[in-house]
Homo-oligomer: A and B are copies of this chain.
Amino acid sequence: MAARVTPSTREPLSRESIAAGALALADREGLEAVTIRRLAQENSVTPMALYWHFKDKDAVLDGIAERLFADVELPEPIGLSWDHELRRVLAAVLAAVRPHPLAAELMVMRTMRSESGLVLAERVIGILIAAGFSPAEAAQAGSFLLCSIVTLVVTEPRKDNTVDDETWDDHYRAKRAELESLSPKKYPNLLAAAEFFMYCPSEDDYYDRGLDFLISGTVGVRTP
């Protein structure tokens, strides 16, 4: 029984397997749990072993981001108007990012460091330039749109899975009680909306509205 778990049966390390394990760990316990030493332990290996496969910890994080970008299944263009094509691309990014709310922030500022990220960026910038954006405008809008997808996922009010259910219930009740104890005279609107900062009535509505917002914004800043 226990013999099956001895170090001698360990799988060989690789950039990909380490990155995949790191992403899984981030999904389970959050990004701050992803440390060199912890990853070494999970791979039944010495911390220094990881430095053979990655230059430093930042390169490991690049590896996680790379895996996230690789999960984006870019849709083939089907001849819709540019704003509808853009929405399909953003929806594909969203679909890839949603399962990884605790790791998603790594995609910000790391887009150009992986093949998949570059392909995605080329696609978005291409749509924007074809729509009449200048290169400078397209670069800004493209960067902002990708960050916004990450923002939507990261800030979606959710039951975080890094703690057990009762702990989170306590935390939730405490936070909500705190918000709802605010002065009704000073914060009437905040009180009316209080519950929606902690709880999302419909995830699909939330993300549909998010995409609507981004497309409206993009259309709105175009100067054709």
Contact = CB atoms under 8 A, between A and B. Distances in A.
A contact face: mostly helix, strand, loop, or mixed: helix
Interface string A165-200: 000000000000001001000111110110011000
Nearest to A123: B189
A141 to B, nearest CB: 7
A135 interface: yes
A121 to B, nearest CB: 6
A25 interface: no
A189 B130 CA distance: 9
Contact of A201 (B118, B136, B212): B136
B196 A140 contact: yes
23 contacts: A108-B154, A108-B155, A109-B155, A118-B187, A118-B190, A121-B190, A122-B187, A122-B188, A125-B189, A125-B190, A126-B188, A129-B189, A136-B193, A137-B209, A139-B196, A141-B213, A143-B197, A144-B152, A144-B155, A144-B213, A209-B221, A213-B220, A216-B217
Given A112-B179, A122-B188, A125-B189, 20 more contacts: A108-B154, A109-B155, A122-B187, A126-B188, A129-B189, A129-B192, A136-B196, A136-B201, A138-B193, A139-B196, A140-B209, A142-B193, A143-B197, A144-B151, A144-B210, A213-B217, A216-B219, A216-B221, A217-B220, A219-B220
